[in-house]
Amino acid sequence: MPDMENALYVVATPIGNLGDIGLRALEVLRGVDLVACEDTRHARHLLDHHGITVPTLALHQHNENEAAGKLIRLLGEGRRIALVSDAGTPGVSDPGARTVAAVRAAGFRVIPLPGPNAAITAMSAAGLADQRFLFVGFLPAKVGARKTAILDLASVDAALVFYEAPHRIMETVVDLVELLEPRREIVIARELTKMFEQIERMPLAAATAWLVADVNHQRGEFVLVVSGPPPREGLDAETERVLIALLAELPVRQAAKLAAEITGQPKNALYARALELKGAAV
């Protein structure tokens, strides 16, 4: 690329199939002086595949501040640098954001090169009718925090997009099934763009059985897309009265939990209504 600027080029790379890389990304990776990458061996595999010999520098979550300082010094010397992550788009559930902020703050241009992203790839094949989606990424690893996060998302009027790793896919799906409205659907997208790619759509309640039906169903990398909540039918007057009384004394989660015990109504519906009531009171 003859007229490449002295800048940081943020380059999205394949999420599996090494052929999924744009012409401009390849030109930039060939033309820069250095490729900053999460894992040098991983990046080398991609670069070698495309016959690119540019040197690499490790930039991962444990050295990002220090490595960003080095990049800024090199940019100051007039170098052109590419930033890539192990897969997909840097800065999306991957390192990159702190580097980009530091480079921009130092007065250098940051040039994004769009390309693969697992969430968007899954959305493109999910076929859900929702007008909106919320990218959540990874849920917390600890059970309590994960359940709280899911309950907080239960009333969001949008499809929800999660990332998950094979060792946690089962527990995450079990929690989604337990805490989200059972009429919602889930699309389980595993190993996108790879040899054993699978994209399966099913009622949320059927997801656990699907995972246990075949050990291979729990292997690989996952994107989970859950359709938005169905239109909520209003709570009956008595349930609403109980919830309002409890909300006057208790935090939202406790009020919803207790109201569910007292009235027998679903906890997530009460939680969603409690959030609305709290919002209205602010």
What does the block give as tokens for 232? 């909520």
94 contacts ligand SAM (rule: CB under 6 A): yes
Residue closer to ligand SAM, measured from CB, 67 or 223: 223
87 belongs to the binding site for ligand SAM (CB under 6 A): yes
Using CB under 6 A as the criterion, what x/- string covers residues 3-22 for binding ligand SAM? ------------xx------
Distance of alpha carbon 83 from alpha carbon 59, whole angstroms: 9
Task: Mention every residue, 6+ apart, whose C-beta is less than 8 A from residue 209.
Answer: none
Binding pattern to ligand SAM, positions 143-182, x when CB under 6 A? Answer: --------------------xxx-----------------
- Helix 169-179 to helix 143-153 angle, to the nearest 10 degrees? 40
Rounded distance between C-alpha atoms, residue 161 and residue 22, angstroms: 25
Q: Is 218 in the site for ligand SAM (CB under 6 A)?
A: no
Q: Establish if 223 lies at the interface with ligand SAM (CB under 6 A).
A: yes
Of 253, 248, 279, 278, nearest in space to 268 by CA: 253
Contacting residue, 56, 85, 227, 239, with ligand SAM by CB under 6 A: 85
Locate 114 and state its tokens: 């769009």
> CA-CA distance, 78 to 270, in Å (whole number)?
58
Nearest residue to ligand SAM on Cβ basis: 88
Binding residues (CB under 6 A) for ligand SAM: these are: 15-16, 85, 87-89, 92-94, 117-119, 163-165, 189-194, 221-223
